[in-house]
Structure 1
Amino acid sequence: MRVVDIVNKENQSIESCDQEPIHIPGAIQPHGFLITVDSSPQHRVRYCSANCMDILNRKAISILGKPVCDMLSADDCTRLEYYLTNELFDTSFACTITGAEFNVTAHKVDDLYTLEFEQYPDGSLTVTDQFNQTKRFVRNIQQAESLQEVCQSIADETRSITGYDRVMIYRFDKDYNGEVFAESKRDDIQSFLGHHYPHTDIPVQARELYLKNLLRIIVDVHYMPVPVLTLDNGAGTQQLDMSHAILRSVSPLHIEYLKNMGVGATLTISLIENKKLWGLIACHHYAPKQVPFYTRLAAQLQGHFLTSQISVRESAAENELAGILDVRLDRLLKNIAKSDNFLAQPDILHRIADIPNANGVAVIRNGIIALSRSTPTQEQIKELLPWLISQSADGSYSTDALSQHFHPALAYGRIASGILYHNLGNTDKDGIIWFRSEMDATINWAGNPTKGDSEDPGARLTPRKSFELWQEKVKNLSIDWKTPERNAAAKLAHLLQGQFYSMYLKEEEKRYIQLTNSLKKANEELANINWIGTHDLKEPLRKIQIFASRILRSGNEASPTILDFVGRMQKSATRMQQLITDLLEYSKLNISSPNEAFKQVNLNDVVQDVARQFETDMEETKASIKVLNLPTVKGIPFQLAQLFVNLIDNSFKFAKKDNIPEIEIKAADVTIENIHYNKVTVSDNGIGFSNAHNEKIFDVFQRLHSDDFQGTGIGLAICKKVMENHLGKIVAIGSTNGATFELYFPVIKKES
């Protein structure tokens, strides 16, 4: 087989930094050498760096494909086997090759082990050094009052340990723009403290590698990359994933970036918090610098110290803020509880704005907007609200750059760059919006963040060359909402939602009282109408009937035409009197039934009493009323009597001419939808009706037949009302051979 290198040639054709495959450069830095072995028992060499041939005094063909122990002593081979078997990748071990001593570290990717060799001796820290270092750290932590002071102590201690010209604690924001948060440096070099770097300076794939490999070193930015070699098996060259390799060759773009800064060597330690890249310890030297393995570990320990403090310090700051906001919230709620309408009190609205440290607030209740302090106009908020609702799937939304997402907000970006919104129950009409004004600040950038790659489309990618101070005035951006502020706002929103609900209940109660009073007045007026109907309306009708009767009795003194008119007038008066009587009976059902106690009523007795009222009609028409063993039901006796009076009277009114009326009343037990009923059926052989009207027939004043048949159209409406008062129902079934009415009385179990 032929030996080939795996140097990645694609780097020359990439179009942007974040496309560069920096984890597979196919080359290493020359301050050590690399061997990658497989997981077979012999651990055969799959890859090796080209400088192995010089260090090991062997050709690549005699290394690749051979067991790694061919180049090690028996003791070193045993030590290596133990190291790999137990995967002791966080430590190193020493070995001797061709008379030279090396520190060996290893890592595993898939089924390959990559071994990295760096020349010994190392200049290791002693136990005393490490103890003193830890003691100083603990003292500094105890004295530090803020996270920034902790970071400054770490920067100072790391520079003391490593000897770099500059050590920076580099902190990322939520968009991965970086800020130099703390710095320790030589007195004669420019300070970068407080300077910001755009997220493009450390592209996405570089940040991902910082999560995998927590320590990276560049000994000399002017190094010549050493190719990694492998055997060509004819199936295509497979790249070696070097994400975890300390010796991994660095992106040419990053090297050029460092050269543009004047940097000669770097050491970078990742700071991880909650599995995210919080920041970096970035060490710069202005000449080549090799830092021994154990010194690097001591520096990395500083990174571990710092990450242990990040969460603690940030949590402490958040807890302190949360405590302040809780006190505000408690005072606010006491004021709200004392107020009938807190939205009308400016002082309470001001306090609502203060809960998440906002500059203004809009509280929307039932579509009405109450404003406090610095806010957009009512019309602007009305325009904003539908958009907020569409963005808040969980009922809330927040941003520190509103105009980037909602462009009309550019018109009021100065007073409302940041917003915090919560829905308060009624999605379209209730809500609360806190506003935060544009931050009045200037960002100090290390060079113009908008000038990165070459502006010439035909030129290759070129990193930024200028790192001189470049200032940017912040526009349409507010201070971000902190977690305690969000939590306090959410807590208040939840409590306001309950407050709004309580207010709605009180308003509904007030409306209910007003409605009750209106109904009471209406009932009093109805009582007056009943009295008028009983007295004032019936009395004139009675006189009309009397005078008409007298005229008709003296018929020989009037013409036939006048007598005909008087007869019609008398009939109309009689019909009107009956109508008034029926109306009064119907109105009594509404008034009487709630106050009447239900009793056990034997329907056989009720129907027999009712039948006696129709004895004259039965004699004249030879009609029959057949009653078959009716049940006893719970009800109001006089209403049940009225029910059967109207049904039997209906049968006589709508009997067929030249036909003897036959009325049958019978009962049966039925169950409908798991409810047990006593079903009473009243049927006749009269003229009947069409089933198309079986619902309409129960409406007040509804008459299906001509004036040839007597009636006011209220009788069946009374029947329906009686059945409703008895928690039952009535069903009409019509045909040309008569009418049938089914009465359903629910069976009420006796109380034990």
Structure 2
Amino acid sequence: MTPQDKQAFEELLANCADEPIRFPGAIQPHGLLLTLSEPALEIIQVSANVESLLGRPALALIGQPLQSLIGDEHAAQVRQTLQQPTLSDSAPLLFRLNDMAFEGLLHRHKGVLILELEIHVENFQPRNVAGSETHLGRMLQRLQGATTLQALYDISVKEIQAMTGYDRVLIYRFEEEGHGQVIAEASDPSMEVFNGLFFPASDIPEQARELYRTNWLRIIPDAAYEPVPLVPKLRPDTQTPLDLSFATLRSVSPIHCQYMKNMGVLSSMSISLLKGDKLWGLISCGNREPLHVPHELRAACQTIGQVLSLQISAMEALEVSRQREAKVDALAMLNQAMIDSPQNVFDGLANQPEVLMALTGAGGIAIIEDKQLHRYGNCPEPDEIRALHKWLQDSGEAVFSSHHLASVYPPAAHYQQVASGVLAMSLPKPVDNGVLWFRPEVKENINWSGDPRKPLDLENSDAGLRLRPRTSFEIWKVEMAGISTKWSHGDLFAANDLRRSALENDLARQVRREQEAVRARDELVAVVSHDLRNPMTVISMLCGMMQKAFSSDGPHTSRRISTAIDTMQQAAGRMNTLLEDLLDTSKIDAGRYTITPQKLDVGQMFEEAQSLLAPLAIDKDISISFEADADLSIHGDPERLFQVLSNLIGNAIKFTPRLGTVGVRAKSVGDEIVFTVRDSGEGIPKENLPHVFDRYWTVKDGNPTGTGLGLYITQGIVEAHGGRIVAESEPGQGSEFRFTVPRLD
């Protein structure tokens, strides 16, 4: 092929894929087609063969009422049918025109009413059938009684062949890669056998598959037909070709007709098999001689296709369920191994290599946990596994599977003998981890019907260069290198379920470790607090005794010693406060913070707070006020709530400059008492406000002794009372802290 021919070939292939099969502008000659306006039912378009079949010139009919062609009685039948809510459920209308019997089929599509008058097949005698309705019922019973998918397929092809009389009936299933395989066949003994053969994806272009998905049945009674054009060619209302996607008489691609002839058949019928809304496969019927199967029998075949689709989906789901059930015992054993492992979940799996390999029928496994790599069975080398694992991690898939690894990860070509297929799972952890199952290369001979690398060819014609459908349907044996057996639904389920169990066990271990760490910390804090409290008390007492012996009014040496003693007392006091805060924090973290509630009078609480805290404000010339609604009572722990008030008021005084103000309020709002502490200080920066209740958060400036635990503990006390606390602040305008306590009625 010359470079010019090759370029032309590529262009023709592209044109073939884009061929307007929905808008052929013509029909097959075994009937008439009309497009009609509504509600007037005037003829907008008509097929040109109306003259040969009914003796009426096509152009003369355009704009005429329908009854002018088919008569008032038949037109009335059409109008009556149009009253039904769903035209697709309507039975064909039986017309007799020009001494010929027709079946009228109506449908609406893309804003136009289409009437097809298909020539009725009289005295059709299918093989071995006493009555189609009786046979259909018997066949449906047989389909429902099938116990395996293959039995289901075999029953379908045999029964449809018997009903219709086609020389060959086969079921063609689409594979994930796009090509298809014949999985069942019923043929005349003289026909070439296609069962088991693979057909390239290019044999059925993508747009044809989409048409099969939306339209259950297609028929070509005679592939040697001459297409009948529509008159006029374009829809008068839109000046676009008529969409014939759902027309029984739709003309098909001439390439497809030639393809049929090359296969040795002149008549065909195909029935779609759907799984959900996806095209699963086809029932394909072919006959060496022209064969026009009547509409009634085609409708029965379509019903079979719909029932078969449901049965296939149900039985495939049942098969998936069986595959999953077969994995349950092994998964339970592996789960227990992960639970029993003293180190981590992957060490537990590494102790069960045989079970892990048998789980998915793998030839080898690799288990990774940080620097550790366990290998069992036939595996790639450690460096190769590490590189593959990194690539898998970069892909971002929690569970990955491929039966042709080298096609997506080229380095795998170096070890495809042991790892043409891989199934892998990993956990979201900061260290490398995962399980990789490997399957070896299975060199198998795939029987292709024709060369999959050359589905179409070129030929010269009067119109120039054009595509010629494949003429050779010889069996091509193509060796599938670098491919393993496919991972089943059960294998993928097992990998996902094992990952789920590993994740749960790993998280449980983390929780236990954190709980143990918290418990150890609590014990340490308790011991340290207990062991330090007594010495700190002794230090405070001794400082008091020494203070009496060294007066600050005495000589210089005495004054220095007195100052040092004051510093020691202050330090001891801060240490005692810190110990108490650490104990409270530990209890809050562990969810063991307890209170001893009793009835409290809010006004009395404020009096006590004012007497103890007002002197601190007076020392800084700060005006402090306490206001509370009359007769407010709460149910709370007096010591802990006073701790909250003293902490908030103390902070307000600390961070308010001289001559500032601090206001403390309490008022009833619904079922709660709302306490407010507001100051006129510098306020809290906006970026710090969300963190004021965090542990160890503290303002450094002007707060040299702060531990960062006061507000955290304050929040814990308020929440232990069933309340909540919030902070608001505007830099330069001061801060406001509000907390709530349930009201006691």
TM-score by length of 2: 0.70
Aligned to 1:209: 211
Give a deviation string over 1:193-246, Cα, whole Å, max 9, x none. 101101110000100111122111111111111111127799984201111111
1:595–1:286 distance in 2 versus 1, CA, 3 Å? same
Give a deviation string over 1:395-424, Cα, whole Å, max 9, x none. 222222211111111111222222222222
**One-letter identity of the residue aligned with 1:187:** P
Q: Please say if 1:150 is aligned against 2:148.
A: no
1:510–1:369 distance in 2 versus 1, CA, 3 Å? farther
Structure 2 residue corresponding to 1:433, chosen from 422, 436, 458: 436
**One-letter identity of the residue aligned with 2:65:** P
1:270-419 to structure 2, matched below 5 A, reads: 270-340=272-342, 343=347, 348-393=352-397, 395-419=398-422
Task: Give 1:112 deviation, angstroms.
Answer: 0.6
User: What secondary structure does 1:107 align onto?
Assistant: strand
User: What secondary structure does 1:355 align onto?
Assistant: helix
Aligned to 1:468: 474
Aligned to 1:50: 48
User: What secondary structure does 1:33 align onto?
Assistant: strand
Aligned to 1:653: none
User: What secondary structure does 2:102 align onto?
Assistant: strand
Q: Please say if 1:444 is aligned against 2:443.
A: no
User: What secondary structure does 1:41 align onto?
Assistant: coil
Q: Which moved more, 1:44-53 or 1:610-619?
A: 610-619
Contact in 1 for aligned 2:32/2:118 (Cα 8 Å): yes
1:636–1:674 distance in 2 versus 1, CA, 3 Å? closer
Structure 2 residue corresponding to 1:62, chosen from 55, 60, 63: 60
Task: Give 1:26 deviation, angstroms.
Answer: 0.5
Distance 1:239 1:310 in 2: 37
**One-letter identity of the residue aligned with 2:112:** L
Could you tell me which runs of 5 or more consecutive residues in structure 1 were left unpaired when the two chains were aligned.
1-10, 521-588, 642-663, 682-726, 734-739
Contact in 2 for aligned 1:359/1:373 (Cα 8 Å): yes
1:605–1:323 distance in 2 versus 1, CA, 3 Å? closer
1:345–1:254 distance in 2 versus 1, CA, 3 Å? closer
**One-letter identity of the residue aligned with 1:74:** D
User: What secondary structure does 1:470 align onto?
Assistant: strand
Aligned to 2:179: 177
Aligned to 2:679: none
Distance 2:699 2:167 in 1: 100
Structure 2 residue corresponding to 1:84, chosen from 65, 82, 85: 82
Aligned to 1:494: 500
1:130–1:171 distance in 2 versus 1, CA, 3 Å? same
Contact in 1 for aligned 2:442/2:484 (Cα 8 Å): yes
Distance 1:48 1:728 in 2: 85
Distance 1:70 1:251 in 2: 33
**One-letter identity of the residue aligned with 2:29:** P
Task: Give 1:81 deviation, angstroms.
Answer: 1.1
Distance 1:233 1:251 in 2: 21
1:501–1:308 distance in 2 versus 1, CA, 3 Å? closer
Aligned to 2:168: 166
**One-letter identity of the residue aligned with 1:619:** P
Give a deviation string over 1:668-709, Cα, whole Å, max 9, x none. 79999974548999xxxxxxxxxxxxxxxxxxxxxxxxxxxx
Distance 1:339 1:73 in 2: 87
Q: Please say if 1:30 is aligned against 2:37.
A: no
Distance 1:176 1:235 in 2: 39
1:520-559 to structure 2, matched below 5 A, reads: none
Give a deviation string over 1:526-578, Cα, whole Å, max 9, x none. xxxxxxxxxxxxxxxxxxxxxxxxxxxxxxxxxxxxxxxxxxxxxxxxxxxxx
Contact in 2 for aligned 1:599/1:634 (Cα 8 Å): no
Contact in 2 for aligned 1:123/1:294 (Cα 8 Å): no
Distance 1:365 1:14 in 2: 51
Task: Give 1:275 deviation, angstroms.
Answer: 1.0
**One-letter identity of the residue aligned with 1:388:** L
**One-letter identity of the residue aligned with 1:418:** G
User: What secondary structure does 1:460 align onto?
Assistant: strand
Distance 1:276 1:494 in 2: 29
Give identity over the alignment, percent.
28
User: What secondary structure does 2:176 align onto?
Assistant: coil
Contact in 1 for aligned 2:551/2:562 (Cα 8 Å): no
Task: Give 1:338 deviation, angstroms.
Answer: 4.2
Q: Please say if 1:194 is aligned against 2:192.
A: no
Contact in 2 for aligned 1:447/1:468 (Cα 8 Å): yes
Distance 1:258 1:415 in 2: 43
User: What secondary structure does 2:45 align onto?
Assistant: strand
User: What secondary structure does 2:87 align onto?
Assistant: coil
Give a deviation string over 1:486-513, Cα, whole Å, max 9, x none. 1121111121233344566788999999
Distance 2:528 2:144 in 1: 85
1:230-269 to structure 2, matched below 5 A, reads: 230=232, 237-269=239-271
Give a deviation string over 1:141-164, Cα, whole Å, max 9, x none. 42x331111111110110101001
Q: Please say if 1:18 is aligned against 2:7.
A: no
1:362–1:677 distance in 2 versus 1, CA, 3 Å? farther
Q: Please say if 1:595 is aligned against 2:524.
A: no
1:128-143 to structure 2, matched below 5 A, reads: 129-139=132-142, 141-142=144-145
Task: Give 1:333 deviation, angstroms.
Answer: 2.8
User: What secondary structure does 1:415 align onto?
Assistant: helix
Give a deviation string over 1:296-336, Cα, whole Å, max 9, x none. 12222221231121012212222211111112212333344
Distance 1:98 1:459 in 2: 43
Contact in 2 for aligned 1:122/1:294 (Cα 8 Å): no
Distance 2:213 2:646 in 1: 66
Distance 1:56 1:159 in 2: 34
1:717-728 to structure 2, matched below 5 A, reads: none
Aligned to 1:615: 551
Look at both structures and tell me which one has the larger radius of gyration over its CA atoms.
Answer: 1
Distance 1:613 1:120 in 2: 129
Aligned to 1:453: 456
Distance 1:72 1:345 in 2: 78
Aligned to 1:554: none
1:93–1:432 distance in 2 versus 1, CA, 3 Å? same
User: What secondary structure does 1:103 align onto?
Assistant: strand
TM-score by length of 1: 0.69
Distance 1:405 1:495 in 2: 29
Distance 2:442 2:135 in 1: 44
Distance 2:147 2:491 in 1: 22
Task: Give 1:452 deviation, angstroms.
Answer: 1.8
Aligned to 2:485: 479
1:387–1:293 distance in 2 versus 1, CA, 3 Å? same
Distance 2:237 2:498 in 1: 66
1:16–1:368 distance in 2 versus 1, CA, 3 Å? farther
Distance 1:673 1:377 in 2: 68
Aligned to 1:105: 105
Q: RMSD between aligned alpha carbons?
A: 4.6
1:552-567 to structure 2, matched below 5 A, reads: none
Q: Which moved more, 1:496-505 or 1:376-385?
A: 496-505
Contact in 2 for aligned 1:155/1:168 (Cα 8 Å): yes
1:506–1:243 distance in 2 versus 1, CA, 3 Å? same
Distance 2:131 2:235 in 1: 52
